Amino acid sequence: MVGMEPYFETRLGRLYCGDALEVLRYLPDESVDVVITSPPYWAKRDYGDATFTVFGGDPDCDHEWVGQEVGLQHENRNNVRGKQDEVVGARGTTRIKKYNKRTALICKKCGAWYGQLGLEPTPQMFVEHLVEIFREVKRVLKPTGSLFVNIDDTWVGGGHGYGLGNDNDPKWNGRSNVPKVAWPDGLKKKSLALVPELFAVKMVYDEGWILREKIIWAKKVHFYKDRTTKGNAMPESVRDRFSHSWEYIFHFTKRPKYYFDWKAVAPEPSELTRERAKYRWRVGPHNKGELYPRSSREINEGIARKIREGDYKVRPNDVIQINVRPFKDAHFAVFPPDVPELLIKVACPKDGVVLDPFAGAGTTLVVAEKLGRRWVGIEMNPDYCEIIRRRFERELGDVAKNHRLGQWL
């Protein structure tokens, strides 16, 4: 990558501290085997001034910026939603401390938007910006590669803090070329905004991606019949819906045929299945057939033989239960190492390259290093880049001590 210095590097990978869209443009075409990433969720968190970037508009424009207030969603333990001052004053305490509003900028000449990815005034604008980044991801991904995007939705509050000014606001002066974005018609309070669905539709119908599957990452599962649960998730106190305990992982590809080694993560047949295979799904000694009757979807003798010989793998399902794990450093959203570990094993050859353009706390990068895969990470916030560097030193020791600091773009 000519003209760029990594923030640090190891034997297998490099972390670049800069804007994802700009850094991706330095990567060569079709150079990455798998992309595993979790971009900022819409209207959820403030990642700091260092993450501001320009989207859309005319790159040659001599921008004239005007201010725009954007808001974040809040909720207290009594299901009161709105701006922070509204929920703090309500009975109960806020579940997560967030900021009341942020100021973004919009160019009154070309309509370019300057702010944080994820704090756009509408979900549609957020999706447009996200797709712009993944357009570059598609260029660098190999024809046999896969893209996995962890994305979640947002419940709509009262709409306070969103949208631009009105025609009576002197800083707008009724300019017709400045978009007046607001909540879309028909999007009611307490509704999900359907951000993942908007993103998936845009990627498939406008960008030409193949959406192979929608993997459900279940953090906590409720077994209704047994009245038990498995896993862990952030508690919620909402009273008019179930607690949210899962997220999407969209699996995109460029072509119908691609690298996918599902056997690398396949579970072994259950003890019950092995026992039934021993008697070929039929009546066996001591009337085993009465205990293990033939299934309505009978497995043939060939599969039974493979199970008896230990040469049979169970194809994994698209609902995967993985617990959330705590992370000691100050980063808002960290998915557990098991998530990228599973995806790297199934979609990246042993000599392949892993990319995460929204590295965050560096989980994907650390796991790639531990699995012996080459990797490239991009993170815009220099504080998080330092968190990643320290994490490599803490978890990988000598491997990470050979890093060399570079300049922040």
Residue 161 contacts residue 74 (beta carbons within 8 Å): no
Higher local confidence (pLDDT), 204 or 93: 204
CATH number for the domain running over 8-267+313-401: 3.40.50.150
Q: Which pair of tokens denotes residue 123?
A: 């979900």
Q: Count Cβ atoms within 10 A of the Cβ of residue 340 and give its class: 0-12 exposed, 13-18 middle, 19 or more buried.
A: buried
pLDDT digits (tens, 9 = 90+) for 308-345: 777 788 889 999 999 988 777 755 567 899 999 999 99
Determine which helix (DSSP H) or strand (DSSP E) holds 96, and give its type and residue range.
none
Residue 335 contacts residue 363 (beta carbons within 8 Å): yes
pLDDT value, residue 188:
83
Strand-pairing partners, residue 248, are 151, 216
pLDDT digits (tens, 9 = 90+) for 82-120: 443 443 344 443 333 343 455 678 888 888 888 889 888
User: What secondary structure letter does DSSP report for 49?
Assistant: G
Q: Can you tell me which residue has the tokens 């998080």?
A: 384
Q: Considering the entire predicted model, what is its pTM?
A: 0.81
pLDDT digits (tens, 9 = 90+) for 257-283: 999 999 999 888 777 777 777 765 554
Query: Domain map of the chain by residue range?
Result: 8-267+313-401, 268-312
Distance CA 82, CA 72 (A): 8
Distance CA 72, CA 155 (A): 11
pLDDT digits (tens, 9 = 90+) for 142-189: 999 999 999 999 888 643 333 333 334 433 333 333 333 345 556 788
Q: Can you tell me which residue has the tokens 């704090």?
A: 119
Distance CA 9, CA 17 (A): 12
pLDDT value, residue 48:
74
Q: Taking Cα atoms as reference points, which of 333, 338, 316, 322 lies closest to residue 387?
A: 333
Read off the pLDDT of each residue in 186-215 and give the average, rounded to a whole number.
94
Q: Which pair of tokens denotes residue 149?
A: 């995007």
